[in-house]
Structures are given as structure tokens and as C-alpha cells.
Structure 1
Amino acid sequence: MRAVVVTTFGGPEAVRVVETEIPEPGAQQVRIKVAAASLNPVDAGVRAGAFGGAGKQLGLGWDVAGTVDAVGATGAWRVGDEVIALHHGMGRPLGTHAEYVVVDADAVAKAPAGVDAAHAATLPLNALTAVQALDLLELTPGQALLVTGAAGAVGGFAVQLAAQRGISVTALARPADEEFVRALGAAEFTSEGVAAASVDAVLDAAVLGARALTWVRDGGAFTGVIPQAAPAPERGVRTGAVEVTADGTRLTELVALVEKDVLTLRVAGTYPLADAATAHARLAEGGVRGRLVLVP
């Protein structure tokens, strides 16, 4: 099969498409014939060497949508099931940017009905990151949340999920994105920031760090999206960062929200697997709204 990997670190030119053996599922695993797999900033980070792994082959891709085509010793899934999954972790020789991928059975959810594979592939990593970040904030209905990077993939899901919970959301994004983020459910919009200590919590999808922390009231909460990169606590504000985990049960709940039109799936463009380096170059240009998706 074909798979997208890096063997040396660098820019988009480091991305390679190689021929390799089709992986076999072990106990409590399934193999998915990939129909679509989204490209995320974490893939660019792996490619650039941000997470280490020098001297090894590193597979790219965390999100997948496709069809189960082989199962290990598990009764949860059947050959032919249309599914999505988060293939979580660093340092793997193969990721989801491939023609086939093996994932843990408990990371899998049924694909959302009525949604094409390219859109379905944009859900797992970003929506799980958003919902797990919101869980860390422990907000209750009526409290005020500022989401930075609100027009991005994680930020957009965070706005919708928070609004669905009855939380009052202020969206921080570029002025051109105001109409979009308000349509997602943001009650307020800003392109500059808010008054100091004026919100109960910040979900910092834009990775503003200490600057965003100043906007949280004393005793509030701050959650970032890069593990070990959160600012130090101050003024009684809890700080931390989400470290996303694969969770098929939670992913199933998110699929249900897609099917109820609570969550919006966005594809910024699709690329053949062979053009993975071109997709990386487009991601590096910035300004992408939604996810770029690779299609084997």
C-alpha cells in the first residue's frame, strides 16, 4: 500500500509517499480501508521535527474516515462498517495518511449518516480536542467563555459545543470571520481581545498564552491546546492544556451532534494521497478555514 511518511525533518519537501506492507490488526484492533484523512497542524509539527523521532520513519495523519476491512479478536465492529477514528500518538511508523490503517477498536465510532468521507474525516481530532478542553474548564450554563482562534477547526467546534451547553461565548477571530463565528453560536465577537479579568474562562485555540490569561477573572480557568505549554497559574486562575485522547464513546456522541446539525464540518480542500506534499505546502501558507483532506 501507499503511505505518507517523513524520514528526515524539514518543510513540505520532506513529505514522502512510500510503498509498504498492509498492516494486520491485532487483538482489539480493526483495520480501516481509508476513504479520507485530514491534515492537521500536528502533522506539520511531526514533519518539522517538533516532537522528535530523528532517524526513524514517522507516519503522518491522525484522523481517518473509511470502511472496516479486517478485525482482530473483537466483536465491536464488522467488516463493511463505515467508521471514523482518531489514530492517536507520536512516533508511529504509519499514520492515517495511507491506504489502510490499523487502530484500536475502542477509538472507533460509526461515521455520521449523510456525510461524505472527506467531511467525516475532519471530526475526530479537532472535535475531541475541543470537547476535552471544555471538560477541563468545568464551566456551567451562563458562565462566560472566550475562545481564541474561534474560526479555526478546534475553535469552531469549541464555540458550537460551548453554546450547546448554555455557555455564553465570546469569539476572538479576524474581523472577516465575525459573521461565521456568530453563526456558530458566539454571543459576542472581538478581533482585539477583551477587558482584563472579564471572562470566567479562556479556551486558547490560537495559542496566545500569557496574553489570553490576562482576560480571565481571578479564580477562573484557562485551557490551551498544546500540552506543557500553558502559562503558569496566577490570581487563582487554574491553567492547563488538553492532551487529546482517543475515545470512541465520546466520538460517537460527537457524531450524534453532527447528525443533529449542532456541529459543522468544514473541508477547505481535498488532495490525492500522492499530492500530500502539496497539501502540506498549502497548510504552511496559512489562512485555511476548515481542514485539508487527503483522499487515497
Structure 2
Amino acid sequence: MRAVVIRGFGGPEALEIADVPVPSAGQGQARIRVEAAAVNPVDLATRSGALTEAGLLPARDLIGIGWDVAGTVEETGPGVAGLAVGDRVVGLSDRLDVPLGTHADQVVLDADAVTRAPSGVGAVEAATLPLNGLTAVQALDRLGLRPGETLLVTGAAGAVGGYAVQLAVARGLRVVAVAGAADEALVRELGAELFVPRTARLGEAVRALVPGGVHGALDAAVTGAAALDAVRNGGSFAAVVAGGEPLPLRGTRVFTHWISADGARLADLVTLVEQGELTLRVAGTLPLEEVAEAHRRLAKGGLRGRLVLVP
């Protein structure tokens, strides 16, 4: 089968379509035929060597690429319950140090990282949900805000930020969205009550709308101290990108959220998709062979939604 791998770090040219053996599902695992797999910033950081420089990924001869997957179960290993051959599923590979990722014809995942795919939704759209949706919902869980409180979401028009806006609104939070001026209509459609252009001085602009500052912030755009200045004393701040954590000034609780594969939590997100409370956004599709072009397009920025590879 084909799989996207790297044998050395570098630009998009470092990506290789390798011919590798079909993996087998082991204890507690499922093998999935990949129908679609999203391309995320973590894939670019893996390929470039940035994660290795940060001490997150040991150097090895062969590294697989890809976290998100939507597809069909082809094999289950011993001890797997709730999944059967032929099931349409979505799942997440959250380990960095692996020889094969989801950018492949088939992938093996732990069964508890997989859940049924949303009904009435194609594989391309479904593949955009696991990594970005789980990042948003898990960060919101840790922020622990109560209904009626205010949340600042930076990068609100992006993949993680867009999910965060909708999930926060579903929890009864008032959302202040930060995005480009051209994206104001989009983030308001997602449910944001208040809007601040990303060119503004965040602390001043947000506090003019929310006297005293917001109760919490989810910083998907890596604005760091600028977004922290908009948070009231003793509030909470979630960074979702490595290196984006500012100092915990004024008694704020600051943390970086690291994603964890969770099939049960992913199932909750699938239900929200089916209920129309969570919007899946696809920026474009490319065949697996054009993975290098997908990396170039993502690196340029400006996408709304995720690029998705189709084997």
C-alpha cells in the first residue's frame, strides 16, 4: 500500500509516497481503509523538523505523516468491541513517533481513538473533525467556564477557532471572536456575539466590549500576551499551539492544551454535527500523490477549513 513518509526533515520535497506492507490490527486495534485524511499544521511541523527541535519527536529513519482519518473498518483485533468490519468511522492518530500515519491507503489505530462517522456526511467533510474538533472541545473542558461567562477566541475563522466558537455557544458562553475584518460575517454566523479585528490592540478593544475583561481565552491564533491582556484577573487562558503559552500574569491560570485521542468525546462531536450544531469546513481536496502541494498551500495560510487528501 501507499503511505506518506519522511526519511529526513525539510520542505515539502521531503515528503515521499512509499510502498509499505499493509499493517495488521493488534490487540484492541482496528485497521481502517482511508477514504479521506485532513492536512494540519502539525503535519508541516513534523515534516520540517520543528517538532524534533522542540524535543517532541525523536529522530528516526522513517516517520509517518497524518493525524485525522475518515474511512471504513477493514479488520479488528482481539478485544475490540463496538466496531465491526464495514463500519464507517472517524478517528485520530495522536502519537508523533510512528512509522505510519493516516496519510496512507490504510492505517491501524487503537479502537478507543475511533468512533462512527457522522451520518449524512461524506468522508471528506468528516475527516476535518477529529484533530481540530477534539482540540477545541478539550481546551474548553479545561477552561471550565460557566454559562453566561465570556470567552475570547482568537483565530476564530480558522479550523480550531471555528469549532471553538460553535462549541462555546452551545455551552451558553458569550463569545468574543478575533479574526480578519473580512471574516466578521463568518464568525458571527458561527455564533460569535462580539467581534474584534485581529489588527486591533486586543486588550483595549476587548475590554471596551466586555468591561473588566473576558473570563477566559482560547488562543488558536498564537497571539500570546496580547490575548492574555484581554482576560480579567484570575481568569483562564488556553494555548493550543506549542510555544504559545504566555506568562500567567495577574493571577490568570495559563496552560497549553495537548490533544488526546478520545473516541467517546469524538462521538459527542459527531452527534453535534448530526444535530447541525457543528459545521464541517473543507478548504479543498487533493489526491494523496499531491501531498506536497497540500503542504505548500497550508503554509501560505488564508484557508477557511482544512485541505483533505483523498487516497
- CA drift at 1:247: 0.5
Partner in structure 2 of residue 16 of structure 1 = 16
Other-structure match for 2:39: 39
Gaps spanning 5+ residues in structure 1: where? none
Aligned equivalent of 1:107: 113
Q: Distance in 2 between matches of 1:136 and 1:110?
A: 25
1:273 to 2:278 alignment? no
Q: What is the SS of the residue equivalent to 1:126? A: helix
Q: Secondary structure at the match of 1:235?
A: helix
- SS for the counterpart of 1:261 is coil
| Pair 1:177-2:176 in alignment | no
Report the counterpart of residue 167 of structure 1 in structure 2: 173
Identify which of 77, 84, 88 aligns with 1:72: 77
Q: Distance in 1 between matches of 2:141 and 2:245?
A: 16
Quote the Cα distance in structure 1 between the aligned partners of 2:233 and 2:44. 36
| Structure 2 residues not aligned, in runs of 5+ | 53-57
SS in 2 for 1:51: helix
| Alpha-carbon offset, residue 233 of structure 1 | 1.1
Q: Tell me how far apart the structure 2 counterparts of residues 195 and 178 of structure 1 sit (CA, whole Å).
A: 15
Alignment deviations for residues 92-150 of structure 1 (CA, whole Å, 9 cap, x no partner)? 11000000000000111100000000000000000000000101111001101110000
Asked if structure 1 preserves the Cα contact closer than 8 Å seen for 2:158 and 2:304, the reply is: yes
Q: In the comparison of the two structures, how many residue pairs are matched?
A: 296
> 2:134 is paired with a residue of what secondary structure?
helix
Kindly report which structure 2 residues correspond to 1:163-242, keeping only aligned pairs within 5 A, or say none.
163-191=169-197, 192=200, 193=202, 194-195=205-206, 197-227=212-242, 229-242=244-257
**1:194-224 per-position Cα deviation (integer Å, ceiling 9, x unaligned):** 3455111110000111111111000101001
173-182 or 194-203, larger mean C-alpha shift: 194-203
Deviation at 1:263, TM superposition (A): 0.3
What's the RMSD between the two structures over aligned residues?
Answer: 1.0
Aligned CA distance change for structure 1 residues 291 and 195 (closer, same or farther; 3 Å): closer
Whether 1:61 and 2:76 are equivalent positions in the alignment is no
Determine if the alignment matches structure 1 residue 51 to structure 2 residue 13: no
Alignment counterpart, residue 249 of structure 1, candidates 239, 264, 271: 264
Question: 2:306 is matched by which residue type in structure 1?
Answer: R
User: For 2:206 and 2:167, how far apart are their aligned partners in 1?
Assistant: 24
Separation of aligned partners in 1, 2:25 and 2:51: 26
- Structure-2 change in CA distance of 1:286 and 1:165 (3 Å): same
Q: Which residue number in structure 2 is paired with residue 6 of structure 1? A: 6
State the distance in 1 between where 2:82 and 2:243 align: 35
- Classify the secondary structure of the residue corresponding to 2:164: helix
C-alpha displacement of 1:27? 0.5
Letter in 2 for 1:261: G
Question: Residues of 1 paired with 2:219 and 2:46: CA distance?
Answer: 21
Runs of 4+ deviating beyond 6 Å: none
Q: Which amino acid aligns with 1:72?
A: G
Q: Deviations over 1:246-278 (max 9, x none)?
A: 010000000000000100001101010011111
Q: Which amino acid aligns with 1:175?
A: A
User: Among the aligned pairs, what percent are the same residue?
Assistant: 56
For residue 134 of structure 2, the aligned residue among 128, 132, 143 is: 128
Deviation at 1:57, TM superposition (A): 1.0
Paired with 2:133 and 2:170, the residues of 1 have a C-alpha distance of 14
State how far apart, in whole Å, the 1-side matches of 2:103 and 2:141 are: 29
Q: Tell me the distance in 1 between the aligned counterparts of 2:115 and 2:189.
A: 27
Provide the secondary structure at the position in 1 that maps to 2:51.
coil
Of 96, 103, 107 in structure 1, the residue corresponding to residue 102 of structure 2 is: 96
Q: Aligned equivalents of 2:105 and 2:247: distance in 1?
A: 42
SS at match of 1:146: strand
Q: In the aligned structure 1, how far is the partner of 2:106 from the partner of 2:152? A: 39
